[in-house]
Amino acid sequence: MTASNAGLAPAAPDLLRIATAGSVDDGKSTLVGRLLFDTKSVLADQIDAVTKASVDRGMDTPDLSLLVDGLRAEREQGITIDVAYRYFATPNRSFVLADTPGHVQYTRNTVSGASTAQLVILLVDARTGVVAQTRRHAAVMALLGVPRLVLAVNKIDLVDDAAEVFAQISAEFNQVTAALGYRPEQVQEIPVSALHGDNVAIRSENTPYYDGPTLIEHLETVPNTIDRTPVGLRFPVQYVIRPRTPEYLDYRGYAGLIAAGRVSVGDEIVVQPSGIRSRIAKIDTADGELQTAHTGRSVTLLLTDDVDVSRGDLIASVADAPEPAQEFSATVCWLAEKALRPGARLLLKHGTKTTQVIISSLDALFDEQNLAVSDAPESVELNQIGRISMMTAEPIAADDYQTDRESGSFLIIDPQGGNTLGAGLIGDALAPLHLSEAVAV
């Protein structure tokens, strides 16, 4: 599977966006608490607060999971309700971590957390190994094009023949990820004990059979981009900058964030959907002009011709610009309680363009139980993933999600209430699963 250069700002080598996934009681909050604690990202007053809360609950050691489960309802129920974002840093890298709840039926949260992740840490309990939920999560990661996976085999201290158990779990997981299209260098298995800190920041003496990196070492050194054929420039126009001040009377700049590719002064570009061609006259920032700018940078482009460009348009490289179209097939992860049915009239947000969309048909449903694709459903329900055909009111210039994550993704929005109903991937992201009997539960 090709996985795009992930996330909003992937080009910074000293920043890695990661997410966690795993089942309910596999110790995910403890691992996240351990990552924060061992990287000294938790300060004394926060530790004091957790120690005090742990004592109030009758525990004799600080419960590191309390560092992350912060809402009243979460503490009441002892569970994680919603995605939370954590930050930690080592001398070599900064990390933004999307901490997702463990309930696997909530694909919604996993999808939210993983949509910008360059790496996902999947947790399994060494005593139970790879379970159906692990396979499902791995399949969702493959679908979303997450470039790197780590399998943290937790509670490794609790199994007797640890070397054999770890080898067996690793082999089984490799089989799953290979079937999903991951190459071996994209996947790393690490035996850990989140509770005791083995192989998290400190190499454990209890795992002589493991000679790979600790979790932190791996996170610090793993490449955050991936070898693939890059697409050319994709620049959704966010806002037209027209100062109309005496000093900048004729200034007309197109502001946006480079979603993919790179742009240089002099490049020939095409504006979609109009198809008008022009050249880059200037790349402006508040800090001065640039000759070239890469993916992830917010810039302002000035063109050599006085052409009509506005918010919602896409400035793209001439060589491989996506053709504007109004009919698409796509994969949607449904995030709302109100089910998706054929004929629904909704809103679609792609890049900076929001347009009406009619769902023409529901073509297939992802069968989470068997990791296969089943026949056309009557509806796509909350947390289900389906393939749809749709028609947009205005033309959209989009890439296949498998080619580029940013220009291939969209939101489905309720025109009445305004809520986000679905997460969409242009193209048939489910295609690899047609070949994946090997991963079936």
Partner 1 sequence: MTISDKTSLAPLDRAAPVAASADEFTTLDALESESIHIFREVAGEFERPVILFSGGKDSTLLLHLALKAFWPAPLPFSLLHVDTGHNLPEIIKFRDEIVERHNLRLHVAKVEDYLADGRLTERPDGIRNPLQTIPLLDGITENRFDAVFGGARRDEERARAKERIFSLRNAFGQWDPKRQRPELWNLYNGRHAPGEHVRVFPLSNWTELDVWRYIARESVLLAPLYYAHEREVYERDGMWMTSGPWGGPREGETVETRMVRYRTVGDGSTTGAVLSEAVDNEAVLAEVAASRLTERGATRGDDRVSEAAMEDRKREGYF
CA dist 273 and 396 (Å) reads: 7
- For residue 104, the SS3 value is coil
Give the range of 112-120, 180-188, 206-214, 368-376 binding partner 1 by CB under 8 A. 112-120
Residue 32 structure tokens: 């996240």
CB 1 within 8 A of CB 182: yes
Contact present, 377 and 363 (Cβ < 8 Å): no
Among 325, 382, 411, 440, which residue interacts with partner 1 (rule: CB under 8 A)?
411
Identify the bridge partners of residue 276 per DSSP, sorted by sequence position: 271
Contact yes or no for 355/394 (Cβ under 8 A): yes
Judged by CB under 8 A, the chain residues 121 through 140 that form the site for partner 1 are none
The smaller minimum CB distance to partner 1, of residues 53 and 440, is found at 53
Binding segment (CB under 8 A) for partner 1, from list 46-54, 211-219, 271-279, 319-327 = 46-54
Q: Using CB under 8 A, which residues numbered 358 to 397 contact partner 1?
A: none
Using rule CB under 8 A, residue 112 touches partner 1:
yes
User: Residue 147, Cβ neighbours under 10 Å: how many?
Assistant: 26
Q: Which of residues 227-286 bind partner 1 (CB under 8 A)?
A: 238-239, 241-245, 247-248, 251, 255-257, 285-286
| Contact pick of 24, 55, 73, 441 for partner 1 (by CB under 8 A) | 73
Which residues fall within 8 angstroms of residue 119, CB to CB, at 6 or more apart? 16, 17, 18, 19, 146, 147, 148, 149, 150, 219, 222, 224
Q: How far apart are CA 113 and CA 106, in angstroms?
A: 11
Among 196, 203, 294, 338, binds partner 1 (CB under 8 A): 294
Closest approach, Cβ 11 to partner 1, in A, equals: 5
Amino acid at 285: T
Question: 65 or 204, CB closer to partner 1?
Answer: 65
Name which of 184 and 418 has its Cβ closer to partner 1: 418
- Residue 88 CA to residue 68 CA, distance in Å, equals 13
Beta-bridge partner residues of 88: 95
Q: Does 94 bind partner 1 (CB under 8 A)?
A: yes
| Binding-residue total with partner 1 (CB under 8 A) | 82
Following DSSP, what letter does each residue of 286-300 receive, concatenated? Answer: TTEEESEEETT-EEE
From 81-89, 207-215, 268-276, 322-330, give the range in contact with partner 1 by CB under 8 A.
Answer: 81-89
176-235 residues in contact with partner 1 (CB under 8 A) are: none
The residue range among 79-87, 177-185, 187-195, 367-375 that interacts with partner 1, by the rule CB under 8 A, is 79-87
Toward partner 1, which CB reaches closer, 180 or 425?
A: 425
Span near partner 1 by CB under 8 A; candidates 109-117, 188-196, 314-322, 363-371: 109-117
Q: Are 299 and 293 in contact (CB under 8 A)?
A: yes
